[in-house]
Amino acid sequence: MHRKVILSIITVFLLGMSVYSQNPIVQTYFTADPAPMVYNDTVYVYTSHDEDSTKANFFTMYDWRCYSTADMVNWTDHGAVASLKSFKWLEKDNGAWAPQCIERNGKFYLYVPIHGTGICVLVADSPYGPFTDPLGKKLVESDHLWQDIDPTVFVDDDGQAYLYWGNPSVWYVKLNEDMISYDKSIGKNGVVSVDMLAESFGERVKKDGTPGTKYVEGPWFYKRNNLYYLLYAVNGIPESIGYSTSHSPTGPWEYKGLIMERHPKLAFTNHSGVIDFKGNSYFFYHNEALPNGGGFRRSTCVEQFEYNADGSIPSIASTVEGIKTGVAYLNPFKRNEAETIAWSEGVKTTGDSKNGVYVSQINNGDYIKVISVDFAKGAKMFQATVASIEGGKIEIRLDTKDGQLMGVCEIANTGSVDNWKKISTKVEKVKGIHDLYFVFKGKEGELFNFDAWQFSE
């Protein structure tokens, strides 16, 4: 049986649904620990990256990736924006754990833990990087390096920035305005330990002997309507997500309950992030639902939710549908990156300094889905930027993988896999809003690389 058929069967079996669903939001890589950031009408999600190896019996993580969206349903892959190699002084080849990025005064600060080393910071002029090391050493100087993981950062209305982190307890520092140093006049050389044994953070074991709701790891810190929220993993292994609130950025904290309970399709760890974007609220987390997924090969997901009237967070279920309705339509009459994807099967993305990020490892039967494309009064031509030795075809279909055929773009040999050519074809004129499918056809083996596409009226 062909590997693509097997992959389709496995996908349906593991996800328990049609392969056209929207969770996990990234299918080309295993991505975990999602950290969303809203900037200039765009959502950026920074993730850790679990390597594909099914033999791993621990986390194998070398770099941090970035994805963006303007509509919450189509995600553009910006590749690995930083890695362990970003720290020239670091002598570690594994341990790129959960990140978070924040913008301040036109600079972007990426806080990353390196397992067993501590917390470091990288700086860039763009949300895509390149991120560079401004310190030449770790940011957080403490005596609990193996517990210095999962940083979460927030700048309050008065300009004071806070960095929380930790497992199995939680600590914080008050960052200076430069965001790469902190006030060392408080706590123990600037590091303040929060009493996680307090009842405000729940109990490790309830009176009836069942697992409790005590803080474990993965904090996510933010403020909404003058109330501070701290979300975090609870219960031990496997983890649920709970939260506490406070009227001060440094507590005291009041435990409020569980948000997402442990579930068989979730990974044994979980890591949450929350944003408000264009009038909606979104909850990010990870599961292990992709083919060959597991506790060490996790995948980023997102759910839309509404706060209760009192500001409390409701129980949120993990779904395969994810975000059902986007907040904007995609314009097909401008250049769109091929790596802007709502759902895909079979393909990967590749990034390099010469060509940027593009879709690769395209085989016969693979496809890419893009949601809510606004064809307005109709399109007449389609253009694809591709590079190929083998060649193949792009079937342009509407609404389903086997839906109405708009046209077929014949991909010829361009001479090499990085010799990019623009190839055009006429398409049937279609009006209005549609989901768009690029279905790839050809001989056995990899067919071509796909960098961008655009329709013309």
Residue length of the chain: 457
Contact 288, 23 (CB under 8 A): no
Helix, strand, or coil (residue 294): strand
Nearest of 96, 101, 99, 88 to residue 179 by alpha carbon: 101
What Å distances lie between residue 83 and 88, 94, 113, 296, 390, CA to CA? Answer: 11, 10, 11, 18, 33
Number of H helices, E strands in the chain: 1, 30
Strands lying side by side in the sheet with 280-287: 273-277, 280-287, 299-305
Buried b (16+ CB within 10 A) or exposed e, 55-92: eeeebbbbbbbbbbbbbbbbbbbbbbbbbbebbeebee
C-alpha distances (whole Å) from 438 to each of 251, 343, 371, 376 are 51, 11, 12, 19
Catalytic pick among 93, 143, 158, 199: 199
Residue 373, token pair as written in the block: 């494309």
**C-alpha radius of gyration, the chain, whole number:** 23
Is there a catalytic annotation at residue 399? no
- Degrees, nearest 5: CA angle 187-189-191: 50
Cβ proximity of 151 and 113 under 8 Å: yes
Number of Cβ within 10 Å of residue 344's Cβ equals 20
Pairing of strands 254-260, 240-246: antiparallel
Q: Report helix, strand or coil for 86.
A: helix
Q: How many CA atoms lie within 13 A of 224 on its CB side?
A: 21
133 is catalytic: no
Spatial distance between the Cα atoms of 273 and 225, rounded to a whole number of angstroms: 17
Of 33, 77, 133, 345, which one is the catalytic site residue? Answer: 33
Contacts of 239 (CB under 8 A, 6+ apart): 216, 217, 218, 233, 262, 268, 269, 270
Half-sphere exposure in the Cβ direction for 383 (13 Å, CA): 12
> Collapsing DSSP states into helix, strand and coil, what is residue 201?
helix
Residues labelled as active-site residues: 33, 199
